[in-house]
Chain A
Amino acid sequence: MSKMNINKEQPDLLGDLFKRMPEEELPASFRSNVMRQIMLESAKAKKRNERFSLLATILASLVMISLAVVAFIYMEIPKMAVCTISTSALTFYLYIGAITLILLFADYKLRDLFRKKG
């Protein structure tokens, strides 16, 4: 080990030889290829995060709804009486609810279409 020249300040035959060795040229399309892949990966990651956030929101909502149902029906918190709805009124409420959902869905789709065209 004594002959091993690991101190780069001392003159070294191999050090001099390696210094003269040129760096290789990069392929012309290298930078654009890598940046394209980076942008694609970034877009994928963004989409993945959006999906994860949506899933987390849905799960959290379901948990909260379940807790509310359990508390309200089984544990009877708060103590209150719920009057039953008559069958004819229920059909009307379902009809109104369905119309609201359809309109919300149409609004979402039209906004999406507008954003894509813009």
Chain B
Amino acid sequence: MRPLSTMELYTDTYYIQRIQAGDMACFACLLDKYSRPIHSLILKVVRSREDAEELAQDTFMKVFKGLSSFKGDCSFSTWIYRIAYNTAISSVRKKRHEFLTIEEATLENVSEEEVANLLGQTEVAEQTQRLETALGQLPPDERALILLFYWQEKSIEELASITGLTASNIKVKLHRIRKKLFALLKRMDHEQDEHK
């Protein structure tokens, strides 16, 4: 193993090299860094606490087993998110779910400003609650994509590497998912008004 400079200490690369050299306890450091965001992402995608825990454990086992084959073509963070994304999406694909379909005209007739105005009239906690509900009505792959972009703050290039889609495809998908979310948030507001 080549000597490590001080700058490299405590980076993912340092821990990976230690693990590859046989120091398995170093995996705990990677686990501490990534377990919470990975578990949260999987939980939001699969929407079941039991499944999310099992899938997050699966993800880390896959990471451990594949660590020797990790060549550093992308960052470790992107690699681990790719494994988590594929694990979560494969799991939800096995279970058949039905998702809401929104007409093209509805998507075109909704604007960000309009939704911002509607949400501005509600409390912050209520806004987050509505977003969670709207997310729940999206198909899992779309939910994962928008969560990775906004929540985990991944760039378009990182998303392309995680999902295996092209950057232009990601941009189109994100645009449509945003429109869908706005339409769902608007619909929720109308339903709320009708109840009143």
Given contacts A21-B132, A23-B36, A35-B28, A4 and B127 within 8 Å (CB-CB): no
Q: Which residues of B contact A26 (CB under 8 A)?
A: 35-36, 39
Instruction: Name the one of A4, A13, A15, A39 contacting B119, with C-beta atoms under 8 angstroms.
Output: A13
Instruction: Name the one of B37, B115, B128 contacting A20, with C-beta atoms under 8 angstroms.
Output: B128
A-B residue pairs, 4 tightest by C-beta: A18-B150, A4-B175, A24-B40, A23-B40
In the assembled complex, B31 has its CB within 8 A of some CB on chain A:
yes
Q: Which residues of A contact B112 (CB under 8 A)?
A: 3, 5, 13
Instruction: Name the one of A20, A23, A30 contacting B53, with C-beta atoms under 8 angstroms.
Output: A30
In whole angstroms, what is the CA distance A26 to B53 when docked?
8
Interface of B is mostly: helix
Q: Is the CB of A21 within 8 A of B171?
A: no
CB distance from A14 to the nearest CB of B (A): 6
In the assembled complex, B181 has its CB within 8 A of some CB on chain A:
yes
In the assembled complex, A34 has its CB within 8 A of some CB on chain B:
yes
A-B contact count (CB 8 A): 86
In whole angstroms, what is the CA distance A50 to B131 when docked?
53
In the assembled complex, A31 has its CB within 8 A of some CB on chain B:
yes
In this complex, the interface size class of chain B, counting residues with CB under 8 Å from chain A, is: 35 or more
Contact residues of B between 30 and 56, Cβ < 8 Å to A: 31-32, 35-37, 39-40, 43-44, 49, 52-53, 56
Q: Which residues of B contact A13 (CB under 8 A)?
A: 112, 115-116, 119
In the assembled complex, B64 has its CB within 8 A of some CB on chain A:
yes
Given contacts A1-B175, A6-B174, A21 and B56 within 8 Å (CB-CB): no
Q: Is the CB of B150 within 8 A of A30?
A: no
Show 18 A/B contacts (Cβ-Cβ < 8 Å), sorted by A.
A3-B112, A13-B116, A15-B150, A17-B127, A18-B131, A20-B128, A21-B131, A23-B36, A23-B40, A30-B56, A31-B28, A31-B35, A34-B31, A34-B60, A35-B27, A37-B61, A38-B24, A38-B60
